[in-house]
């Protein structure tokens, strides 16, 4: 157990819908990262938050957004869902944002868009 | 941005053999190189990492080597066991940034 929690574990929804994925980092970690894992694309970095502020952006679609709250948990919002958004979504956390810290991954949320 | 290439995509070995997975990166400013193991349906877990100020690091049966000049790094697993079967990902991050760029992964299958 990494100490990072994610809910829900599984999510099934229809095209055009909106969903929210939630992540709680390890105690003491200030950085949260979101990744998308699909079979053909591997692990793709989406976005990073550090202590409530957006720190870095990766390959995140405009239909997707995220935020980190004062208690440091983070939410990833996916809207106007398409079939291709079906994937495993991981969040990870680390103590800081200097590039020297280990990232610990949560168990993931498996999203299926029908 | 950074680009990480990983080879091979699949690797089958017999129990007790050694396995080597290789990665190359594009940005010479990268200085942190972790390796993650992901079992089927599970989360990626860090197994070993190396920073650019060292050329090799070892932890029991696992070792990682780094060649900064050639911009490549490798994972070596000796005396493989069936429980080593998993997908292995290499990654790289650039100095001052903590975001990771991952390779596409290597599926390692260790047959008893």
B62 touches chain A (CB under 8 A): no
Residue pair B2/B91 in contact by the 8 Å Cβ criterion:
no
Task: Please indicate whether, in this complex, the C-beta atoms of A2 and B45 are within 8 angstroms of each other.
Answer: yes
For each of chain A's 114 residues, which pLDDT tens digit applies?
889 999 999 999 999 999 999 999 999 999 999 999 987 778 999 999 999 999 999 989 999 999 999 999 999 999 999 999 999 999 999 988 777 788 999 999 999 999
Which residues lie across from A57 on neighbouring strands? Answer: A47
What is the enclosing helix (H) or strand (E) of B84? Answer: none
Q: Give A65 to chain B, closest Cα distance, Å.
A: 17
Based on its alpha-carbon atoms, the radius of gyration of chain A, rounded to whole angstroms, reads 13
Task: Please indicate whether, in this complex, the C-beta atoms of A101 and B97 are within 8 angstroms of each other.
Answer: no
A96 touches chain B (CB under 8 A): yes
């Amino acid at each position: 157990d990494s100490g990072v929690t994610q809910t829900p574990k599984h999510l099934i929804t229809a095209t055009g819908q909106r969903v929210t994925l939630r992540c709680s980092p390890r105690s003491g970690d200030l950085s949260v990262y979101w990744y998308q894992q699909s079979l053909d694309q591997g692990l793709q970095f989406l976005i990073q938050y550090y202590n409530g502020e957006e720190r870095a952006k990766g390959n995140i679609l405009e239909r997707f957004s995220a935020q980190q709250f004062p208690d440091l948990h983070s939410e990833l919002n996916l809207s106007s869902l398409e079939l291709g958004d079906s994937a495993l979504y991981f969040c990870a956390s680390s103590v800081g944002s200097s590039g020297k810290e280990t990232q610990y991954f949560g168990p993931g949320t498996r999203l299926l868009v029908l | 941005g950074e680009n990480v290439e990983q080879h091979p995509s699949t690797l089958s070995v017999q129990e007790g053999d050694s396995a080597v997975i290789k990665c190359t990166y594009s940005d010479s400013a990268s200085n942190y190189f972790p390796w993650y193991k992901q079992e089927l349906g599970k989360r990626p877990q860090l197994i070993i990492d190396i920073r650019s100020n060292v050329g090799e690091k070892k932890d029991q049966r696992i070792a990682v080597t780094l060649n900064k000049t050639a911009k490549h790094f490798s994972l070596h697993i000796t005396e493989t066991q069936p429980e080593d079967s998993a997908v292995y990902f290499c990654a790289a991050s650039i100095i001052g940034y903590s975001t990771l760029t991952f390779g596409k992964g290597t599926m390692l299958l260790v047959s008893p």
